[in-house]
């Protein structure tokens, strides 16, 4: 199962996302040319929880770093803007 990956254009914003997710999720800063936050879920159920928590945390990151861009990178190569717009 691939990691959940978020591309962030500011290192400080990426570090805040990792801090907000805490040790429970095992988020790490990966080297990929730009800051990438990765979380390795242990199963499909945990993957859903990880995605939910990343969406929640992205709202706080956006409040503190309004100029930062965050994108969830999907397995098929799509980029989803975070936080998502309200419905």
* pLDDT exceeds cutoff 90 at 87: no
All residues at 6 or more sequence positions from 70 whose CB lies less than 8 Å from its CB, including other chains: 6, 7, 8, 9, 13, 17, 58, 61, 62, 81, 82, 83
Residue entry with tokens 């803007």: 81
Q: What is the pLDDT of residues 31-63, one digit of tens each?
A: 767 899 999 998 888 999 999 999 999 999 999
Element (H, E) at 29: strand 28-31
All structural domains of the chain with their residue ranges:
4-70
Model confidence pTM above 0.85? yes
Q: What is residue 60's three-state secondary structure?
A: helix
CATH of domain 4-70: 3.30.70
């Amino acid at each position: 199962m691939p990691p959940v990956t978020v591309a962030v254009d500011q290192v400080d914003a990426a570090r805040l996302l990792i801090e907000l997710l805490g040790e429970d999720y095992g988020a790490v800063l990966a080297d990929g040319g730009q800051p990438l936050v990765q979380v390795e879920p242990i199963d499909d159920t945990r993957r859903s929880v990880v995605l939910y928590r990343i969406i929640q945390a992205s709202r706080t990151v956006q409040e503190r770093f309004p100029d930062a861009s965050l994108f969830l990178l999907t397995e098929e190569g799509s980029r989803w803007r975070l936080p998502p717009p309200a419905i």
